[in-house]
Amino acid sequence: MKKVHVKAGGSRDYDVTIGRGVLDRCGELLSPLFGGGKIAVITDTNVAPLYLERLKCSLMRAGYEVCSFAFPAGEQSKNLSTLSDILEFLAESKLSRTDAIVALGGGVVGDISGFAAGCYLRGIKYAQLPTTLLAFVDSAVGGKTAVDLRAGKNLAGLFYPPVAVIADPGCLSTLPGEILADGAAESVKTGVLSGEELFSLVEQGKIMENAERIIELCIDYKAKIVALDEFESGPRRLLNLGHTVGHAIELLSGYSISHGCAVSAGIAIITRAAARLGICCYADCKRIIAALKACSLPTETHFRAPELAEAALSDKKRSGSKITIILPRTIGNCELVEIATSELCGIIEKGLCPLEE
Ligand SMILES: NC(=O)c1ccc[n+]([C@@H]2O[C@H](COP(=O)([O-])OP(=O)(O)OC[C@H]3O[C@@H](n4cnc5c(N)ncnc54)[C@H](O)[C@@H]3O)[C@@H](O)[C@H]2O)c1
Ligand SMILES: [Zn+2]
């Protein structure tokens, strides 16, 4: 069992506990943090039949009264209507300010449960129990919560850190391959950002075999970045490597291309562009693209530069005539570069042509 401390400011700091079997020890791990009382487990309809019973048993062994709410699995549930159902459920279950929530599931469950915890009775405690690779390596740590609005993804939410993250890599054994790939793309991203130790693991492509160590190193890196910049006004924006073009690919595909596959192509495109601009050395660029391929992830897209740039710039969260992109220099050294929006299309264009061998 390994612990990573996340600094979220004073009494809001929390630990991530990582280890096989910790799901069955949630009760004992959470009771010093939650105190006694009631726990509402929020999950989805895929995860509930797999892990809810084990979690409930562990919580009840520690003396908790447990209730649970499972909403239909998938991003289409990450909306105000499900949030409202969760809040009504918490009220009907008579959760008080001293009770708590446990989010059991992937990024969708984590994001919406964190939001519910942040606004129910003006904020009650919650813990994250991630069950997808993406949630382990990215969404469970950092305190960002959200739901989607009709105008776009993640447009309503809070920065509201959990009191604990309990990560049991054993949960990955039931994960379908295409969902594992989404997390693999974020793991390669973190490898490019953080450096050789993690990158040399992910470039082997054996994500499941090395899952525990990959998760530890990704969480270590994310914890460091969040401690530097909790509210994403500075270096935390590095975590968006590959995401400007990735979001554009997702949008243009009508979300038929998954986030991970879109981000993978986005990383490849921006890295090739950085190489052509003389910012990234060719050897590292080739290694990054090879790592994505080793994880069976795409490194190209059939969309063209003008439509990608237009889609990227249509993002509702962006404003003004400038945009910040993330360019790799070397593995372990990426930089935030502010460019004029009019330059984006040309940069994407450079990243679309394959590299000469
Ligand atoms: N808060 C953040 O910092 C942050 C960061 C990155 C992504 N996100 C959000 O995360 C979401 C994507 O996360 P996700 O990919 O985990 O999606 P998800 O929660 O929808 O999970 C993907 C699918 O896997 C199923 N599943 C979950 N765990 C399983 C398991 N162990 N075995 C079998 N099936 C399982 C789910 O039911 C779902 O169908 C997006 O909404 C995104 O916006 C948030
Ligand atoms: Zn992402």
In the chain, the domains with their CATH numbers are: 2-173 (3.40.50.1970), 185-352 (1.20.1090.10)
Of 38, 56, 153, 222, which residue is the catalytic one? 222
Pocket flag, ligand 1, residue 46 (CB < 6 Å): yes
In three-state secondary structure terms, 136 is helix
Q: What is the pLDDT of residue 318?
A: 66
d(CA 99, CA 110): 18
Nearest CA to ligand 1 atom 3: 139
185 Cα to the center of ligand 2, angstroms: 8
pLDDT in tens, 160-191: 999 999 999 999 999 999 999 999 999 999 99
Pocket flag, ligand 1, residue 139 (CB < 6 Å): yes
- Tokens 């009775």 sit on residue: 121
Give, for 226, the enclosing helix (H) or strand (E): helix 211-228
d(CA 129, CA 168): 8
Pocket flag, ligand 1, residue 83 (CB < 6 Å): no
Is the distance from CB of 164 to CB of 14 less than 8 angstroms?
A: yes
d(CA 283, CA 201): 17
Q: What is the pLDDT of residue 188?
A: 98
Ligand with the closest atom to the CA of 144: 1
Q: What is the pLDDT of residue 317?
A: 63
d(CA 39, CA 36): 9
75 Cα to the center of ligand 1, angstroms: 8
Q: What is the pLDDT of residue 152?
A: 87
72 Cα to the center of ligand 2, angstroms: 22
Is the distance from CB of 115 to CB of 146 less than 8 angstroms?
A: yes
Pocket flag, ligand 1, residue 113 (CB < 6 Å): no
Q: What is the pLDDT of residue 320?
A: 79
d(CA 217, CA 312): 30
262 Cα to the center of ligand 2, angstroms: 9
Mutation probe of ligand 1 site: the residue of 51, 53, 128, 139 with most atoms within 8 A of C-beta: 139
Cα R_g (the chain), whole angstroms: 20
Nearest CA to ligand 1 atom 11: 107
131 Cα to the center of ligand 2, angstroms: 16
Give, for 120, the enclosing helix (H) or strand (E): none
Question: In ligand 1, which atom is closest to the CA atom of 111?
Answer: 1
What six digits make up the tokens of 256?
């038929």
Is the distance from CB of 113 to CB of 86 less than 8 angstroms?
A: yes
Ligand with the closest atom to the CA of 259: 2
d(CA 114, CA 144): 8
Query: Does 222 qualify as catalytic in the annotation?
Result: yes
- CA 174 from centroid of its chain's CA atoms: 19
DSSP 8-state secondary structure symbol assigned to residue 138: I
Q: What is the pTM of this model?
A: 0.95
In three-state secondary structure terms, 91 is helix
Q: What is the pLDDT of residue 357?
A: 52
- How large is the angle between the packed helices 344-352 and 305-313, nearest 10 degrees? 130
pLDDT in tens, 11-70: 899 999 999 999 999 999 999 999 889 999 999 999 999 999 999 999 999 999 999 999
Mean pLDDT by runs of 10 across the 357 residues of the chain is 89 94 97 94 98 98 97 97 98 97 98 98 98 96 96 93 97 96 97 98 95 96 93 92 97 94 98 97 96 97 98 78 95 96 97 81
Phi (first) and psi of residue 67, to 5 degrees: -125, 160
Phi (first) and psi of residue 127, to 5 degrees: -125, 150
Is the distance from CB of 73 to CB of 46 less than 8 angstroms?
A: yes
The beta-carbon contacts of 280-283 under 8 Å, at least 24 apart in sequence, are 280/327, 280/328, 280/329, 280/330, 281/329, 281/330, 282/355
CB atoms within 10 A of CB 30: 24
Pocket flag, ligand 1, residue 76 (CB < 6 Å): no
Instruction: For the chain, report the end-to-end CA distance as a whole number of angstroms.
Output: 44
Residues of 124-147 as b/e, b for ≥16 C-beta within 10 angstroms? bbbbbbbbbbbbbbbbbbbbbbbb
What six digits make up the tokens of 23?
């799901």
108 Cα to the center of ligand 1, angstroms: 5
Nearest CA to ligand 1 atom 9: 107
Question: In ligand 1, which atom is closest to the CA atom of 182?
Answer: 15
Which residues does residue 104 pair with via DSSP β-bridges, in sequence order?
129
